[in-house]
Chains A and B, each alone.
Chain A
């Protein structure tokens, strides 16, 4: 298939970016979206141009490194996948595809389509863990966890930290990302002792980093590659409320 790409190009953090148009010929519909970009880059290199920089690593939908806002949607026009799992058969011959980086104040553009998501690391560093030193844990079966709780915790823990929730949210809110961690740990008995501290510290960090607040549009859960439910945001709100009621 033949395609026209409109790609955001930006030299570095400070540079002013612009859209560039490229045309590509003979792309196999069985290629993944990132393989199509590989072909574009090969073409650019041969023309003595700098290739388009984009984040990617595992290319099997789990590392969370790939991003891209494709034709107006985070991770492009398919459900429950990351960009690396998007295949060209989702497009038609002759299509124009607009490719933009994640846009959010909390995710500044580093180069072309690469953004800085270190804010996510900072939010988790504020409290997204259970404080257990190596070697001090008790027997794994010494803590009984009902299957339902454990499964629900796993639903939340499936977050890959890609940032699609922030990218798609009209408020650039990181609530779904944060909620997935708070909920994952709050559901487990091991996570309870630090629940109050965790909720307060993480929310404070998120606010400090300039993410917007949640207006419950629910767009994040639709675009989340792992289908994480905003029910976890409700749990975060509950945890935060309770945390503030305690002295």
Chain B
């Protein structure tokens, strides 16, 4: 097993597995967040967030998710470095545009941007809900269910730059996903010429849903507050 994980394909295997795990996490996350759109009172969202924060299964998955993030990031670093070393002298002129997508060539940069976004995001919400707490969370809390809705919407309504950061974050994530979705299956060997097309279509659908969904939420909150 050690030799497998030390091989180039083994490392990518980990990238791909952790990536798929994150991809499924994003869906759940989006589902919970979408409650913001459907209930202006915030009860739905608060209950969902509370469930996610307290359910024992989710509590078990949470550290695994953290490990998934860490693995994905560490191995991205290792692979990117070895890939850089594989070409010690570069080209004077290289036209890559017609043979591959920009996103596919810049996954590390996109990933790094997502990481920066993640730090902001965690500091804004997750950290507060989980550890530091906030006045906003306590305001209107019912039966121990924190008012996460108020925390989130306050941010989105009060600071327009937070909205911009979140929209950009969603777009960058979307770009990352345009390549990541199919590529994860390809690396696991779960693609061929027929499935490649299907997976690519599925990947685009997923990307539009997830990136679009995450981008719409802050915009929706901001715009509806102005109406």
Contact = CB atoms under 8 A, between A and B. Distances in A.
Partners in one complex: yes
Contacts of A85: none
A73 B99 CA distance: 9
Contacts of B94: 69, 72-73
Contacts of B92: 6, 8, 19, 98, 100
A3 interface: no
B89 interface: yes
B153 interface: no
Nearest to A174: B86
Given A71-B95, A231-B191, A211 B100 contact: no
B47 interface: no
Given A212-B87, A217-B105, A237 B188 contact: yes
Given A218-B104, A222-B98, A222-B100, A71 B9 contact: no
A134 interface: no
Interface in A52-76: 69, 71-73
A222 B97 CA distance: 11
Contact of B10 (A106, A210, A244): A244
B29 to A, nearest CB: 25
Interface string A74-112: 000000000000000000000000101001111000000
A147 B92 CA distance: 45
A69 B10 contact: no
Nearest to A242: B189
B186 A234 contact: yes
For the residues of A in contact with B, the DSSP-based class is mixed
A237 B9 contact: yes
Contact of B99 (A168, A207, A213, A231): A168
B90 A103 contact: yes
A117 B183 CA distance: 28
Contacts of A19: 92
B190 interface: yes
Nearest to A243: B4
Given A216-B104, A217-B105, A231 B89 contact: no
A222 B104 CA distance: 14
A218 B179 CA distance: 10
B143 interface: no
Interface in B81-113: 82-83, 85-96, 98-101, 104-105, 107
Query: Size range of the interface on A?
Result: 35 or more
A149 B90 CA distance: 39
Contacts of A73: 94-95, 98-99
B164 to A, nearest CB: 30
B72 interface: no
B188 A170 contact: no
B86 A207 contact: no
A100 B93 contact: yes
Given A219-B99, A231-B192, A213 B11 contact: yes
Nearest to A214: B12
A33 interface: no
Interface string A200-231: 00011011001111111111001100000111
Given A19-B92, A72-B93, A104 B86 contact: yes
A1 interface: no
A105 B91 contact: no
A110 B107 CA distance: 33
B225 interface: no
Nearest to B194: A231
Given A215-B12, A222-B98, A240-B189, 17 more contacts: A69-B91, A73-B99, A103-B91, A106-B86, A171-B86, A212-B85, A213-B9, A215-B107, A216-B186, A222-B100, A234-B189, A234-B192, A235-B192, A236-B189, A240-B9, A241-B188, A244-B10
9 A-B pairs with least C-beta separation: A238-B189, A212-B86, A72-B95, A171-B83, A213-B8, A222-B99, A212-B83, A237-B189, A217-B100
17 contacts: A72-B94, A73-B94, A105-B85, A105-B87, A204-B7, A206-B8, A212-B85, A215-B79, A216-B182, A216-B187, A218-B99, A219-B99, A219-B105, A233-B186, A234-B189, A238-B190, A239-B189
Interface of B: 1, 3-4, 7-13, 79, 82-83, 85-96, 98-101, 104-105, 107, 179, 182-183, 185-193, 196
